[in-house]
Amino acid sequence: MEEVRFCYFCALGLYPGRILLPVKPPSDEGGGPEGPEGEKVLSPSQLRCQPPRQRGPLEAAIIALRRFHMKELWQTFLENAGFVAICFGVMLGMYAIARIFEHFCENKRAVSPARRVSIVAICGALASLLMLLEIPMLFLAPGFYKLDFSEVPVLLCGFYLGPAAAVACEAVKIFLNLIFDGTTTAFVGEFANFTVGCLLVLPASMYYRHRSTKKGALTACFLGTGSTTILGSAFNAFYLLPKFAQLYGIPLENIISMGTAINPAITDVKSFVLFAVAPLNLIKGLLVSLLTVLLYKKVARPLFGTRRK
């Protein structure tokens, strides 16, 4: 039965690690080892399927690690199901806001659904890769606050397709990062990245959709940076930091003491957000905005397939 199963998948060309070329079956007209056009024909008895190759130790270790990683991620999901439900609710709420805005917006780009999905997927994948390249800002905030440029592809996508695509791209980025990198913060870090990222790309893409000019792009980036700095910092103070302490199982005072070790002016949650979180959000917003403005026209043609006017 095992050999039959291998032959079945090999015949369909679905067996991993094998590339099967179509073989012309025996023909009544050919009637021999060669067909009517001189093609060599193999009889069914000559077709042989080999059993699967043995995995090497490194490949087996990677597969075992991936299975353990997914099992650990699922266990974390079950332990924090309530918080994950809140995260999904916030994601759907932001997407609904973007869709309502686009419904009443007159300046719409005509893009087919298939092309829209492919652009969102590509930008989300690029963003998830950039999210892995995190830069610790140890001179400014504790080690779990890191700077990344994953919002650049998301904002580029938002400028081209609109705010709804930007929110969807942000969600794709987070889901891919969870699958390939997991979570060490009980989903709080990923939720913070999504929320603060949307506070940057959502206002910016909304304004740019309303006024698609170079000056409009600069104004849009300014609005997005201000939004992520002010609203993102407030969201950290009133919800994310207490929730992180609760789910991660450490006292909030310990987090404040980490900030005090960097900056003695940090004594409570408000000062922590003012001297650590807000400057980090401001720096990230400015750098992401600068890169987006510089790259948008240059990457629009190869990334989005726009034609040069």
The span from the CA of 208 to the CA of 212, in Å, is 5
Cα 46 from chain centroid (whole Å)? 48
Q: Are 161 and 202 in contact (CB under 8 A)?
A: no
The span from the CA of 203 to the CA of 197, in Å, is 11
**Pairing outcome for strands 146-147 and 135-136:** antiparallel
The span from the CA of 59 to the CA of 46, in Å, is 32
Q: Residue ranges of the chain with pLDDT lower than 70?
A: 1-80, 107-108, 185-186, 305-309
State residue 183's pLDDT score: 73
Q: Are 111 and 161 in contact (CB under 8 A)?
A: yes
The span from the CA of 145 to the CA of 110, in Å, is 39
Record the pTM.
Answer: 0.72
CATH of domain 82-304: 1.10.1760.20
The span from the CA of 54 to the CA of 168, in Å, is 40
State residue 8's pLDDT score: 36
Q: Where are the domains of the chain?
A: 82-304
State residue 43's pLDDT score: 52
Q: Hey, what amino acid is at 118?
A: S
SS3 state at 40: strand
Q: Are 231 and 285 in contact (CB under 8 A)?
A: no
State residue 309's pLDDT score: 45
State residue 6's pLDDT score: 38
State residue 54's pLDDT score: 59
Comparing CA positions, the residue from 239, 247, 244 lying closest to residue 255 is: 244
- List pLDDT tens digits, range 207-241: 988 888 888 889 999 999 999 999 988 888 888 88
- List pLDDT tens digits, range 148-200: 898 999 999 999 888 999 999 999 999 888 888 777 766 777 888 889 899 99
